[in-house]
Amino acid sequence: VHFILTGDQIGPVTKERLEALKSLLSLHRGKVPAFLHLSRRQGEQKRETVLALPEELKVNPSPSLVREVDHLFGSAVTIVVM
């Protein structure tokens, strides 16, 4: 499961939002690895950092997880790849 956080799309990625994301992922524990993509524009270039989240944040990619994470960030940020 990939969470694509693009600053110009969702606004600032704050510590509070990341802690809320961690809490949501903990509520939806499973066996599927999760990845956090942090993207931003720097002039004409797009910069992206991809973080593989730790084992304890593996998730069950349910529709409710997608809905809750997307709601947290106010945009469709979740991509489930099976």
Task: Assign 3-class secondary structure to the chain.
Answer: CEEEEEHHHHCCCCHHHHHHHHHHHHHCEEEECCEEEEEEEECCEEEEEEEECCHHHCECCCHHHHHHHHHHHCCCCEECCC
Residue 47: pLDDT band with limits 50, 70, 90? confident
Residue 57: pLDDT band with limits 50, 70, 90? very high
Give the pLDDT mean for 9-16. Answer: 82
Residue 6 CA, chain-centre distance (Å), reads: 10
The whole-model pTM stands at: 0.87
Average pLDDT in the chain: 91
pLDDT on residue 42: 74
